[in-house]
Structure 1
Amino acid sequence: MSMKLVTAILAYFLVRIVVGAAASDDVGFIYQGFQSSNLSLDGLANVTDNGLLRITNNTKSQSGHAFYPNPINFKSTSNSSAFSFSTQFVFAIVPDVPGLIVSGLAFVIAPTRNHKGGPMSRFNIMETLGLFDRPTNGSQNNHVFAVELDTFQNQDYGDINANHVGIDINSVRSKVSRPASYQANNKISFDNLTLSSGQPMQLWVEYDGIDGRIDVTLAPIAAAKPHTPLLSLTYDLSPILVQNMYVGFSAATSPVERGTSHFILGWSFRMNGVAQALDLSRLPELPRSGHKKVSKLFTVGLPLICITFSLILISGVAYYLRRKWKFAEVLEEWELAYGPHRFKYQDLYIATNGFTEKQLLGKGGFGRVYKGVLPTNNLEVAVKKVSYHARQGMRAFVAEIVSIGRLSHRNLAPLLGYCRRKEELLLVYEFMSNSSLDRFLYNQPKYALNWSQRFRVIKGVASGLFYLHEEWEQVVIHGDVKASNVLLDGELNGRLGDFGLARLYDHGTLPQSTHVAGSLGYLAPEYSRTGRATTSTDVYAFGAFLLEVACGRRPIEPRAEPEENIILIDWVFSCWKAGCILQAVDHNLGNEYVKEEAELVLKLGLLCSHSEPKIRPSMRQVLLYLEGSVALPVRGFSAVDLGFAHPAVGASTDNCFSHSVVDSVLSGSR
């Protein structure tokens, strides 16, 4: 052995001895259950009666944190290298209802135990695992190291899927991540694991302060620690970790009524050494997710049992064959890629009690809508049966339906999936308890929405359309914006639904479809000529929708003679021309409305339904007007420069418009 090699080996071990001795206190602790622990808890975190550490419960859009109560010395001085550390813990992510949006869990080392952060939306708090708000996410001043067990895919943060493990430094955008899996010691390949399965799993996190290497290892509860880690990253944590840090866990719940519970069953940690192994037999048990059925004892003799069993078997086979024929559906090979979004016809048939009239919610030109309860998870749904006779284009249609199923916005009715049977399509939506908006506007409704409720619905639908046009990864043209396609949830919030006519295309490109489809009274003039649906044709329909909600009238009021039909847009325009536009407000409201807001909605409705597409505003501009951030201009108006043409809201204090140069622009549009 050469002298240089001996010297290098001695130097290596000398550095390790010096680094190990530099720590004044090699902290180590172990919790085999948390019955008598003194952890620092906040948010939803608590310790259950049997000793489980529960980071969150099923409360929606909330976070929970649990930290070791005392700060731990991760460095000898502020400028020195970070010490090595090791931890092992057993966790379980338990969704209340399988198939719903669930949220992840993170092991975290941070300079503070306070991670409440700033105000966050319902999805922000889940996306960032309760660690950061959007402005601080990614800041070098965070000094946060975390290992995320993420069950929600956010493409904004580069998530690879909705079931992965990642190493995070100062941000929830992982430095490295892999799908959740483990390599058993007797295998050469990795086996997949489902983080949100509700089953307990083990995780080891180890940092070598000398080599600057981070190893993360995952395994089921019954498996020995694998020799091969799931993640291995060479990264010096010295600039990240400050001298005194806190170690613990963070999680956030999803924005749905039924959420996710995050449990820690046991936890071991050590500085400058290997964390003490957990005794899995001493860990507390997870709560049962259901009740086991007690089998009945046989009270008859063996011959009678055999006869009964034979009869049941014969009846069962006959019943199975009959139902298989009844619920037969064709699943073509190309459709296999859309499997997770496809429902079984049999499940939808059972959910709606066979599509009986009793379950019928409504019907229109594109199909009937039925209420149902899915037998798999008791989720209330609305099932729309759509007749689709064109075989050509079916594949593209299904592909778009599946793509639309990935939309996520508080003012869109969630499309859960589809079912295809022969020449019939069934679209499955989340059920809205208050049905559609038109039931509160027409035919002398038992309950008419007040102005505040209507204005909130208008702003909600506008926000949903803005998301479709500009905020999602593709441009989505809804194609059928109207009151009957706006659903109301339990709090009377508006959610735009029925995407049966929706079309998608990439940002920066032009739509290709030239097929005219939609509802009379909502179709833009250029759409009827060119057959090309655009964001501007959606804005036109939204303008008709604004007038529909404010006036409590249908876009076309039929009369005995077709030539006597009342066109709502023309009628409101005539009120404006007469100088008293507020006469068009729904008489059911009486005088109980905000005049400034009513004027804004009516004027904006005329503006959006302008016959010239270039003069209509974008949905981004519409939102600014509705939120009061920008006023509609009166003086210095230029339709070419600004692309809209109405007087400013509030320019007059009575019920009439102030006439200006805008009059000529509007007059020329009719």
Structure 2
Amino acid sequence: MAVFMRLGLSASDDFTYNGFKGVNLSMDGLAGITSDGLLMLTNATSHAMSHALFPSPLRFKKSQTDNVLSFSTTFVFAIIPEYQKLGSGGFTFVLSPSKDLTKASTDYLLGIVNMTSNGNASNHILAVEFDTWDSPQAYDINNNHVGIDINSIISNYSTPAGFTSDDDGKFQNLTLLSGKPMQVWIEYNGTNMQFNVTLAPLWKPKPKIALLSPTINLSSIVLDHMYVGFSASVGTLHSNHYILGWSFTMDGQAPELNLSSLPPLPQDLTSSEKKRKNLLPWLPLTLLIVPLTIAGAILMLARRKKVSELHDDWELEFESNRFPYEQLYKATRGFKEKYLLGIGGFGRVYRGVLPASKVEVAVKRVSHESKQGVREFVAEIVSLGKLRHRNLVQLLGYCRCKGELLLVYEYMPNGSLDKYLFSETEQSLDWSLRFQIIKGVASGLQYLHEGWDQVVIHRDIKASNVLLDGDMNGRLGDFGLARLYDHGAPPRTTSVVGTPGFLAPELARTCKVTTSSDVFAFGAFLLEVACGRRAIETNKQGLEQVLVEWVFANWKMGTTHETKDPRLGQDYVSEELDLVLKLGLFCSHPSPSARPSMRQITQFLNRDVPLPEMLPCQCHGGDIDSYMKQNDGIEAY
């Protein structure tokens, strides 16, 4: 390790690691140092995370009132995915006020925040993400991007991975999942507040033009002392994230790495590609010599391996709900990318046509590695398949194959509602259709809560999970997170999952999902539809704006109608719009006991019962107030 001293800074504020043998880092999760000296952030483990931080906090301000000091870092990384071109998560260079980030979450949350802390100004998290997952929840631009994140996994600035060539000035794309080492330079100028992120292939000189170069005042984000290092997470598919070398300095230029002395990447992960390339020149001759029957046998074995299924004795009782893997493989043409309908935090959805019946289906591939609990999960899936309601997407069955669950749904030809609300390329929906969709989803949700043999908690109600059938009726879908309870039984403690902006505040304390937490999410959904805005968006000042807070602030000022989707124009029913906006706030009440039930909500929407008058009072962190004069009597409806 090389150490460089500067006036007013400690010796530990500068360091250089050309490999990590013998280096003392604060590590947790999957992080570790290999025998060759690689810093390994993740391995062949799914739904996991890691952190590797310099063990002592560094001083980023000379006093609390000062601006953040200049700093600079460079490192070399490589990402080797489980499957070529299929990412799942990513890693970040992170500044954190604490070296304990174990309360963060896996998958698309990158190991820096969790569902409830995402977006909180109290996080004081600054991260540069190298993301290989196109997460709708994070509003990612694609599955191969670099972003600057402030207190949230929703990037304040992001751009596709690549660099601008010094030779011809043209932008050249880089594939983060290529398995090839790349070098990163991150520099912050404390004087002009310019934040530069530059990326290039290994051995290529640092490009003159930075990949990202925004002006950011970090004074309110970065504290006097912060920890620096790396975080990483993976989801359904795993990837190996490696850091080969790293240098950092305060108030100066990070020392150059000795690239020739960096440790090599593992041979067992990279040699297969080399062997494939070495084999190519001999392949035509081999095919001439080896009988075609051998090639056919190899293909047959590979195909059988692809379609191998898992069968346990207990599954006999669910046999009628099970689809053969080969049938789903044929239906989706081998899960080809051209049949991909969408990607979510819990799997990919493909369009397919069942070979025999010619019925169109949507097939969702979900990882389910856990041996314990898989029987209960399948039992719940089969139970959900018995649900019958015109405003629910029908779950037709399942298949289990090599650590994967495939859920088969009826196909919705008009796709998800969110693309009509948020996409500038799609035709906007008129108000009458939006109101019809709202009432339909409310009816379906009431059936889940009250109209079936068990109580079904959906846990992920939002516009992207509302699908539109051929007649543009709204159907609530994606029951991958749903939980079932007996009527009258107390809710069980479970992991907090869902989408930021839709999570009821009590979940952070109790970890118990209830019909009331579903109602909170439904309130955010109502505001999405009425306002044409996402539950969390970045405003013109570059700050995150929570939709319910914005609508409530306008309601207090008497400007609620200014929050409506401008694409509606003047063609809407004012009383209905007013009802939906106020009902959205009512459902988003911070107190679970004050929220209406889905039965009451359908009564309000159908005008069977008038919505209680709202009265502002301080009760939600000083920001979101709550409002019902008649809360005590509302259970009587």
TM-score (norm 2): 0.50
User: Which residue pairs with 2:372 in the alignment?
Assistant: 392
Equivalent residue of 1:337, what SS? Answer: helix
The answer to whether the 8 Å contact 1:615/1:645 transfers is no
> Which of 571, 592, 615 is the matching residue for 2:571?
592
User: Given the alignment of the two structures, is residue 554 of structure 1 paired with residue 531 of structure 2, yes or no?
Assistant: no
Choose the corresponding residue for 1:483, options 457, 463, 467.
463
1:512-538 deviations in whole A, cap 9, x for unaligned?
132111111100000122111100000
Higher radius of gyration, 1 or 2: 1
Q: Do structure 1's residue 629 and structure 2's residue 608 form an aligned pair?
A: yes
Letter in 2 for 1:357: E
1:536 corresponds in structure 2 to: 516
Match 2:551 to one of 572, 579, 583: 572
Separation in structure 1 between the aligned mates of residue 304 and residue 615 of structure 2, nearest angstrom: 70
3-state SS of paired residue (1:525)? coil
Task: Return the offset for 1:561.
Answer: 8.3
* Residues 635/608 of structure 1: CA separation in 2 closer, same or farther (3 Å cut): closer
Q: Report the CA distance between 1:377 and its aligned residue.
A: 0.8
The answer for the alignment partner of 1:412 in structure 2 is: 392
Task: Tell me by how many angstroms 1:471 deviates.
Answer: 0.6
**1:509 aligned partner:** 489
* CA displacement, residues 604-636 of structure 1 (integer Å, 9 cap, x when unaligned): 000001000011000000000000111013399
- 1:5-53 CA deviation, whole Å, 9 max, x = no partner? xxxxxxxxxxxxxxxxxxxxxxxxxxxxxxxxxxxxxxxxxxxxxxxxx
Q: Distance in 1 between matches of 2:569 and 2:540?
A: 28
Q: Counterparts of 1:623 and 1:535 in 2: how far apart (Å)? A: 14
> Does residue 1:611 correspond to 2:590, yes or no?
yes
Find the counterpart in structure 2 of residue 351 from structure 1: 331
1:469 equivalent to 2:449? Answer yes
Preserved CA contact (<8 Å) 1:469 1:475: yes
Q: CA deviation at 1:446?
A: 2.2
Percent sequence identity over aligned pairs: 58
Partners of 2:527 and 2:614 lie apart in 1 by 25
SS at match of 2:375: helix
Tell me how far 1:329 sits from its aligned partner: 1.3
Q: CA deviation at 1:322?
A: 4.3
Measured in 1, the distance between the counterparts of 2:477 and 2:614 equals 38
Look up the equivalent residue of 1:604 and give its one-letter code.
L
Q: Give the match for residue 377 of structure 1.
A: 357
Supply the AA of the counterpart residue of 1:393.
G
Instruction: Summarize the Cα distance change of 1:524–1:637 in structure 2 as closer, same or farther, 3 Å threshold.
Output: closer
Q: How far, CA to CA, are the matches of 2:614 and 2:427 in structure 1?
A: 41
Large movers: runs of 4+ above 6 Å: 311-319, 635-638
On the 8 A contact 2:341/2:351 being kept in 1, the answer is yes
- CA offsets, 1:159-197, max 9 Å, x none? xxxxxxxxxxxxxxxxxxxxxxxxxxxxxxxxxxxxxxx
Contact 1:632 1:646 (C-alpha < 8 Å) held by counterparts: no
Alpha-carbon distance between aligned partners in 2 of 1:637 and 1:524, rounded to the nearest angstrom:
20
Q: Is contact 1:645-1:662 (8 Å) kept?
A: no
Q: Which residue of 2 aligns with 1:108?
A: none
CA gap 1:635/1:518 in 2 versus in 1, 3 angstroms: closer
| Cα offset, 1:316, TM superposition | 8.6
Partner deviation per Cα, 1:198-229 (whole Å, 9 max, x = no partner): xxxxxxxxxxxxxxxxxxxxxxxxxxxxxxxx
1:262-304 deviation per Cα after TM superposition (whole angstroms, max 9, x unaligned): xxxxxxxxxxxxxxxxxxxxxxxxxxxxxxxxxxxxxxxxxxx
Identify which of 439, 454, 465 aligns with 1:459.
439
Deviation of residue 345 (structure 1)? 1.2
TM-aligned CA distance change 1:528 to 1:399, over 3 Å: same
What pairs up with 1:195-344 in 2 under 5 angstroms? 321-344=301-324
> SS at 2:422's partner residue?
coil
SS in 1 for 2:562: helix
* Matched residue type, 1:629: D
Structure 1's 483 and 636: CA in aligned 2 closer, same or farther, altered over 3 A? closer
- Aligned counterparts of 2:354 and 2:485: Cα–Cα separation in 1: 32
Which residues of 2 match residues 4-153 of structure 1 at below 5 A? none
Return the offset for 1:390. Answer: 2.7
In the alignment, the residues of structure 2 paired with residue 635 and residue 457 of structure 1 have an alpha-carbon distance, to the nearest angstrom, of 25
Inter-partner Cα distance in structure 1 for 2:514 and 2:465: 19
Q: 1:389 offset after TM fit, Å? A: 2.9
Q: Distance in 1 between matches of 2:540 and 2:304?
A: 50
C-alpha separation between the residues in 1 aligned to 2:605 and 2:320?
38
User: Does the 8 Å CA contact 2:519/2:596 hold for their aligned counterparts?
Assistant: yes
User: 2 CA distance for matches of 1:645 and 1:623?
Assistant: 21
Q: Number of aligned pairs?
A: 336
**Amino acid paired to 1:376:** A
String of CA shifts for 1:38-77, please: whole Å, max 9, x gaps: xxxxxxxxxxxxxxxxxxxxxxxxxxxxxxxxxxxxxxxx
Cα distance in 2 for residues equivalent to 1:573 and 1:381: 40
Match among 409, 413, 416 for residue 429 of structure 1: 409
Contact 2:466 2:477 (C-alpha < 8 Å) held by counterparts: yes
| 1:319 CA drift (Å) | 6.2
Pair 570,636 (structure 1): closer, same or farther in 2 beyond 3 Å: closer
* Cross-structure match for 1:274: none
Residue 441 of structure 1 aligns to a residue in which SS? Answer: helix
CA contact (8 A) 2:449 2:456 kept: yes
Over residues 417-465 of structure 1, what are the superposed CA-to-partner deviations in whole Å (9 max), with x where a residue is unaligned? 1111111111110000000000100032421110000000000000000
What secondary structure sits across from 1:632 in the alignment? coil
Distance 2:460 2:530 in 1: 19
Aligned residue number for residue 450 of structure 1 = 430
C-alpha distance after superposition, 1:579-627 (max 9, x if no partner): 1211111001011110000000000000001000011000000000000
Alpha-carbon distance in structure 1 between the residues aligned to 2:372 and 2:297: 37
SS in 2 for 1:512: coil
Once the two structures are superposed, the pairs formed by residues 142-181 of structure 1 within 5 Å of their partners are none
Structure 1: tracts of 5 or more residues without a match: 1-310, 639-643, 648-660, 666-670
How far apart, in 1, do the equivalents of 2:370 and 2:552 lie? Answer: 40
1:602 to 581, 595, 620: 581
Give the CA RMSD over aligned residues: 2.9
> Amino acid of the residue matched to residue 544 of structure 2?
N
Give me the whole-angstrom Cα distance separating, in 2, the residues matched to 1:560 and 1:454: 27
Q: Give the TM-score normalised by the residue count of structure 1.
A: 0.48
Contact 2:419/2:426 (8 A) holds in 1:
no
Taking the aligned partners of 1:531 and 1:462, their CA distance within structure 2 comes to 24
* d(CA) in 2 for partners of 1:482, 1:400: 22
